[in-house]
């Protein structure tokens, strides 16, 4: 075989090994990502719901002590009627 044939064989072996190593690393990282996604899904699915209680607190806070609607501060910090 000529020198250029050996260069071609070496280059193809190098390219093939780089692709195989890349696929192995991709598989490992994919497994890690899949396990992380499952873990966060379990954490979110077991977390208590807070949005409902926040909206109820906001609705209760919208009224003043006299039972009327609250006055919201305007753009310059002054209370509007």
pLDDT digits (tens, 9 = 90+) for 8-24: 999 999 999 999 999 99
pTM of the model: 0.48
What pLDDT, on a 0 to 100 scale, did the predictor assign at position 52? Answer: 65
How far separated are the first and last CA of the chain, in Å rounded?
95
Question: Bridge-partner residues for 63, per DSSP?
Answer: 69
**73: phi then psi, degrees, rounded to nearest 5:** -70, 140
- Tokens 């050996």 correspond to what residue? 6
Higher-pLDDT residue of 25, 63: 25
* 10-61 per-position pLDDT tens digit: 999 999 999 999 999 999 999 999 998 888 877 777 767 777 666 666 666 6
Instruction: Count the residues in the chain.
Output: 81
Q: At 62, is the pLDDT very low, low, confident or very high (cuts 50, 70, 90)? A: low
């Amino acid at each position: 075989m000529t020198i250029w044939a050996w260069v071609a064989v070496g280059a193809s072996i190098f390219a093939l090994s780089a692709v195989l190593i890349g696929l192995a690393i991709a598989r490992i990282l994919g497994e890690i990502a899949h396990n992380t996604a499952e873990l966060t899904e379990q954490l979110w699915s077991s977390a208590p719901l807070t949005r409902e209680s926040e909206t109820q607190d906001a609705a209760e806070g919208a009224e003043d002590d006299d039972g009327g609607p609250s006055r919201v501060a305007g753009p310059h910090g002054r209370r509007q009627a």
